[in-house]
Amino acid sequence: MLALFGNLFDTALGDVHQEHVACLVEGRNVKIERIVSFGQKSPPGFWYDQPWAEWVVVLAGSAGLRFEGEADVKVLSEGDYILIPARVKHRVEWTDKDHATIWLAVHYPETE
């Protein structure tokens, strides 16, 4: 069920041993997700390889994103957003272990 309203900063989510993903909007050409991480990261060797573009922001906490072929991990702190084009492989190297990391992600087809 999609909630029509709510609060992105509400972290009374219970189990911190798993990432919480909530779909806030799901349309034909857009999906808005809120993700809350508690130190979780992508498994070894795993890369996201998505058919849609993803605009993503870290609203609380922090995270390290790695893009395929890049040596440096991009650190996202509170408020930092980035646009990940479709098919650009990336992975989450780390998320904050001491605080909840709240992500907001908007997925959409890459059309002009």
Kindly list the residues in this chain that would bind a second copy in the complex (CB under 8 A): 2, 4-10, 24-25, 27-30, 32, 53, 55, 57, 59, 78-83, 104, 106, 108-112
Question: Which of residues 43 and 112 has its CB atom nearest to a second copy in the complex?
Answer: 112
Cα(24)–Cα(80) distance, integer angstroms? 20
Is 70 within 8 Å of 95 (Cβ atoms)?
Answer: no
Look up residue 40 and give its amino acid.
Q
Nearest-approach distance from CB 81 to a second copy, in angstroms: 6
Least spacing, CB of residue 37 vs a second copy, in Å: 17
Q: What is the CA radius of gyration of the chain?
A: 14
The residue assigned the tokens 């849609």 is 52
Which of 17, 111 has the CB closer to a second copy? Answer: 111
